[in-house]
A = this chain, B = another copy of it.
Amino acid sequence: MEFAEHQNGFTLSRNGAVLLRHDKNFPMIFIGKGHETMDMYRGNFSIEDYVTERRPLELTDIEKDGAAWVCSFGCEIQARIVLAGDNAEIFFESGNPGINRFWLRVPAEQNETCYGCGEQMSYFNLRGRHFPLWTSEPGVGRDKTTYVTWRSDVENKAGGDYYHTNYPQPTFVSSRRYYLDADCTAYADFDFRNDDFHELQFWAVPARIRIEAADTMVSLLEKLTAFFGRQPELPEWVHDGAILGVQGGTDRAFRLVDRSVRNGILVSGVWCQDWAGKRETSFGRRLQWDWHWNEKMYPGLPEKIREYREKGIRFLVYNNPFLVNDGDLYREAKAKGYFATAEDGGDYLVDFGEFYCGVIDLTNPDAYEWYKQCIIREIIDFGAEGWMADFGEYLPTDMKLHSGISPMLEHNRWPALWAKCNYDAMEAAGTVGKVFFFMRAGATGSQRWCPLLWAGDQSVDFSRHDGLGTTVTAALSAGMSGCGLSHSDIGGYTSLFDNTRTKELFLRWAEMAVFTPVMRTHEGNRPDTNFQFYDDGETMEQFADMTRIHVLLKPYIKDLVAENSRIGLPAQRPLFLHYEDEPDAWTIQTEYLFGRDLLVAPVLEAGREDWRVWLPGDDWVFLWTGGQFGKGSHRVPAKIGRAPVFFRAASPYRDLFLTVKNQYGY
């Protein structure tokens, strides 16, 4: 990185490429004032901003201070620029406490592409749109032109839009081979709509901006993950089959496992989200948010856990950072004063849809420690070896927190704090790499604390903005944000307004999940009216085959997981990571490389018997026939149960892939 002062300003560049710049005609910083209106309804936020002032800053002085350059913008903002090799950190200090809006302009090029901003569900390449960054429900439908979205908006304010995500992060990666990260948990909005600059908005003066560059995208990701920290490896047992999401009490859950095993399905785990009990709501059956074993619903569970563990089938549960106000843990936390409160110190219950919960105040070290111990005691020591650590997006902005920090600043940090609490429990119990948890919510920090993402609550369909395809976008963008392990509910989750899961959707989803780090089913929010894998023998048989292929690939998948841990290369990779020279590789979001050697082009539409794929320049072998393909666009068969997948002819895993072909090809 080089810093150069000139007549009207300065540039920060690397090998001649300008990464940051200020001059009279290109002000780097705008500051201003705004009043926001925030309204939360069950995790969906209605946010309006009234900006009363906004103005560009003028550079008034540059001073060298040791290794740093100190750029003064009047007495309003001081930017301290520290260079170290390929990275630059800019520390901001504000001399005007009235400032609560801050815009940073970053030079852009017209054909530049950008990625990241956490986990984005609709658009992998961020260019041409802006992305408000505020963790929330992702929306049901997420597309104002669809009926499901409209109904969700009208009935639950829940339709959402392309940018809504459980995991936003103020970090992006540019095709210009740099990443930019902001140390700022305030509401932000990254705007990639302009030809010659990106404009990053923050509702606070960010403490620090970091720009780090590299020569290749692979090395850039290595640096990015070195900075954020890398995900721990998953327990090896997760690769031994699918995790079955079943529920309904001891009898029903284990009976379904037995039936699955009898039908040849390889089962690595049984996940009972309702281990703590159930309650009925109009959205469907919901869980009892009181995160300990419900003995009435799951009699004899400890024995069952031991019994099935011996057969190689682990037990998984569910928790989240909220406690329902008629539960045991709520009573305990309430007595200890561990809940965040209303601004006046009174009780604050969050509406989760016909039931009400307290928010464990994770900024209170005692509350944090207590909840961590709850996780150890009730989950890990109980014998569960995995759990969905749900939510993290709902911190209301009008609470009082123990730390005294405004919830407007804690809201976007909460998912990481929640991840850390679960990680710390795992670590304190000495079980890192043996047990694991998975989250949909995320934030800066999730990289080191959350072993596995899941792509959230897709609708049970193929829809462009809320269906199967969004799990690919999610995995790719999370990967570019440093979270390289992702998976999804096979068959999707949300079934509303007569939108129900078909058998075809389940099978298409499952065949793709074979080529993700973890296979896991979910019965969805309305199990009775949606297709389930156990609904017919044919599906059980097909699903059994898929679990067998997944397990066959274990050596390869295990290596990918290890590589993600070691150097931060995600398991599911955008094509450009290994094919930087190919312009098309930078914009495709419907295909991915599963590791270096498999190219996966999932079927994302109903009623298809073939599928069009685009292959980058390499020698490719169609996994199911051994047919050879080169660079370009090809139409290939899309037999149910066999996702369009190619392996690199030169792969060191060639024999493994040929085994798959020989056993499961057609």
Contact = CB atoms under 8 A, between A and B. Distances in A.
Number of copies: 2
**Taking each of A54, A56, A147, which has the highest tally of chain B beta carbons within 10 Å of its own beta carbon?**
A54
A179 interface: no
Interface string A7-42: 000000000000000000000001010000000000
A154 interface: yes
Contact of A54 (B53, B147, B150): B53
A145 interface: yes
A53 B52 contact: no
Nearest to A193: B50
A51 B53 contact: no
Interface in A134-161: 144-145, 147, 150, 153-154
Nearest to A194: B50
A279 interface: no
A55 interface: yes
A147 B150 CA distance: 8
A144 B154 CA distance: 8
B53 A56 contact: yes
Interface in A152-188: 153-154
Nearest to A103: B52
Contacts of A30: 52-53
Contacts of A145: 153-154
Contacts of A32: 54
Interface string A43-64: 0000000011111100000000
Contacts of A144: 153-154
Contacts of A55: 53-55
A156 to B, nearest CB: 12
Contacts of A54: 32, 51-55
A148 to B, nearest CB: 11
A367 to B, nearest CB: 38
Given A52-B54, A52-B56, A145-B154, 16 more contacts: A30-B52, A30-B53, A32-B54, A51-B51, A51-B54, A53-B54, A53-B55, A53-B56, A54-B54, A54-B55, A55-B55, A144-B153, A144-B154, A145-B153, A147-B150, A150-B150
Interface of A: 30, 32, 51-56, 144-145, 147, 150, 153-154
19 contacts: A30-B52, A30-B53, A32-B54, A51-B51, A51-B54, A52-B54, A52-B56, A53-B54, A53-B55, A53-B56, A54-B54, A54-B55, A55-B55, A144-B153, A144-B154, A145-B153, A145-B154, A147-B150, A150-B150
